[in-house]
Amino acid sequence: MTRDKTKKGEDEYIAREEAEKTKRLKEQLKEQQSQQQREQTKAQCYMKCPKCGADLNEVTFRGIKIDRCLNCDGVWLDEGELEKLAGDEDSSTIGNIIGIITGKS
Protein backbone atom coordinates (compact mmCIF):
# COMPACT_ATOMS: atom_id res chain seq x y z
CA MET A 1 0.00 0.00 0.00
CA THR A 2 2.83 2.46 0.74
CA ARG A 3 4.35 1.68 -2.63
CA ASP A 4 1.02 2.53 -4.36
CA LYS A 5 0.87 5.87 -2.54
CA THR A 6 4.45 6.66 -3.53
CA LYS A 7 3.79 5.76 -7.16
CA LYS A 8 0.62 7.87 -7.19
CA GLY A 9 2.52 10.84 -5.71
CA GLU A 10 5.28 10.48 -8.28
CA ASP A 11 2.75 10.30 -11.12
CA GLU A 12 1.01 13.44 -9.87
CA TYR A 13 4.33 15.27 -9.58
CA ILE A 14 5.36 14.29 -13.11
CA ALA A 15 1.95 15.31 -14.48
CA ARG A 16 2.21 18.73 -12.77
CA GLU A 17 5.73 19.27 -14.08
CA GLU A 18 4.69 18.35 -17.63
CA ALA A 19 1.64 20.64 -17.43
CA GLU A 20 3.81 23.56 -16.26
CA LYS A 21 6.37 22.88 -18.99
CA THR A 22 3.63 22.77 -21.63
CA LYS A 23 2.19 26.04 -20.31
CA ARG A 24 5.62 27.76 -20.47
CA LEU A 25 6.21 26.50 -24.01
CA LYS A 26 2.79 27.77 -25.13
CA GLU A 27 3.52 31.19 -23.60
CA GLN A 28 6.90 31.35 -25.34
CA LEU A 29 5.32 30.38 -28.68
CA LYS A 30 2.60 33.00 -28.24
CA GLU A 31 5.20 35.71 -27.46
CA GLN A 32 7.30 34.71 -30.49
CA GLN A 33 4.25 34.84 -32.76
CA SER A 34 3.27 38.22 -31.34
CA GLN A 35 6.80 39.57 -31.91
CA GLN A 36 6.80 38.27 -35.49
CA GLN A 37 3.44 39.91 -36.14
CA ARG A 38 4.72 43.25 -34.77
CA GLU A 39 7.80 43.04 -36.99
CA GLN A 40 5.70 42.22 -40.07
CA THR A 41 3.33 45.11 -39.37
CA LYS A 42 6.25 47.49 -38.91
CA ALA A 43 7.86 46.31 -42.16
CA GLN A 44 4.60 46.84 -44.05
CA CYS A 45 3.77 50.23 -42.52
CA TYR A 46 7.16 51.88 -42.00
CA MET A 47 7.31 55.23 -43.81
CA LYS A 48 3.84 54.71 -45.30
CA CYS A 49 1.15 57.36 -45.12
CA PRO A 50 -1.57 56.34 -42.64
CA LYS A 51 -4.14 58.24 -44.72
CA CYS A 52 -3.52 56.98 -48.28
CA GLY A 53 -0.79 54.34 -47.96
CA ALA A 54 1.73 56.09 -50.24
CA ASP A 55 5.40 56.39 -49.33
CA LEU A 56 6.37 59.15 -46.91
CA ASN A 57 9.30 61.45 -47.62
CA GLU A 58 11.38 62.98 -44.89
CA VAL A 59 11.62 66.75 -45.30
CA THR A 60 13.19 69.42 -43.14
CA PHE A 61 10.82 72.09 -41.84
CA ARG A 62 12.18 74.79 -39.52
CA GLY A 63 15.19 72.58 -38.83
CA ILE A 64 13.09 69.55 -37.87
CA LYS A 65 12.77 66.47 -40.03
CA ILE A 66 9.11 65.62 -40.55
CA ASP A 67 7.38 63.00 -42.70
CA ARG A 68 5.36 64.27 -45.67
CA CYS A 69 3.18 62.40 -48.12
CA LEU A 70 3.56 63.75 -51.63
CA ASN A 71 0.39 61.94 -52.70
CA CYS A 72 -2.17 63.46 -50.30
CA ASP A 73 0.01 66.27 -48.88
CA GLY A 74 -0.38 64.88 -45.37
CA VAL A 75 2.22 65.78 -42.77
CA TRP A 76 3.08 63.30 -40.01
CA LEU A 77 5.13 64.00 -36.91
CA ASP A 78 7.12 61.62 -34.76
CA GLU A 79 7.09 61.81 -30.99
CA GLY A 80 8.36 65.17 -29.73
CA GLU A 81 8.40 66.91 -33.10
CA LEU A 82 5.24 68.91 -32.46
CA GLU A 83 6.72 70.26 -29.23
CA LYS A 84 9.92 71.21 -31.08
CA LEU A 85 7.92 73.04 -33.73
CA ALA A 86 5.92 74.86 -31.05
CA GLY A 87 9.10 76.11 -29.43
CA ASP A 88 9.28 77.65 -25.98
CA GLU A 89 6.39 80.06 -26.47
CA ASP A 90 3.45 78.87 -24.41
CA SER A 91 1.14 81.42 -26.05
CA SER A 92 1.79 80.24 -29.61
CA THR A 93 -1.02 78.61 -31.57
CA ILE A 94 0.79 75.29 -31.71
CA GLY A 95 1.57 75.58 -27.99
CA ASN A 96 -2.14 76.07 -27.28
CA ILE A 97 -3.01 73.04 -29.41
CA ILE A 98 -0.44 70.91 -27.56
CA GLY A 99 -1.92 72.10 -24.27
CA ILE A 100 -5.42 71.06 -25.35
CA ILE A 101 -4.22 67.64 -26.53
CA THR A 102 -2.16 66.92 -23.43
CA GLY A 103 -4.67 68.50 -21.04
CA LYS A 104 -2.15 71.05 -19.75
CA SER A 105 -4.06 74.16 -20.67
Q: From CA 95, how far away is CA 66, in angstroms rounded?
A: 18
End-to-end CA distance of the chain: 77
- Minimum mean pLDDT range among 18-22, 38-42, 80-84, 90-94: 90-94
Q: Where are the domains of the chain?
A: 1-46, 56-102
Give pLDDT, residue 105: 55
Q: From CA 7, how far away is CA 13, in angstroms rounded?
A: 10
Per-residue pLDDT tens digits for 28-44: 999 999 999 989 988 88
**Which of 52, 55, 85 is closest to 68 using CA atoms?**
55
Question: In the predicted model, is pLDDT for residue 99 greater than 80?
Answer: no
Average pLDDT, the chain: 85
Give pLDDT, residue 63: 86
Q: From CA 100, how far away is CA 93, in angstroms rounded?
A: 11
